[in-house]
Amino acid sequence: MVCNLTKSRRGGIGKGGLLEGEPRRDVNAWKTYQRWIRTGAQQAVAKPKPNGKGYTIERAVRFNRCLEVSPGLRQLPP
């Protein structure tokens, strides 16, 4: 996942936020990133600092109680 200062999947050009990252190991990563963005499972806001030097990112991740114990195998924690 990428948090961009000037564009985002949900806000388009001119509104900072999340974009899909590069799927390096898993061919389904791009689709997973899109789902997380579109459903709001992950959200982010990027804003430039007032002095013009740098930026601040605020990110939220929806809590999910399921634990992946091995690839594709999930269980609820005790």
User: What is the chain's Cα-based Rg?
Assistant: 15
For residue 43, give its domain range. 2-75
Question: How many domains does the chain fold into?
Answer: 1
Residue-by-residue pLDDT tens, the chain, 78 positions: 788 888 888 888 988 888 888 766 777 888 888 888 888 888 998 888 988 888 889 998 887 766 677 787 777 655
Where does residue 60 fall: left (phi above 0), alpha (psi -120 to 50 degrees), or beta otherwise? beta
Per the confidence metrics, is the pTM higher than 0.85? no
- The burial of 19, by beta-carbon neighbours within 10 Å (0-12 exposed, 13-18 middle, 19 or more buried), is given as middle
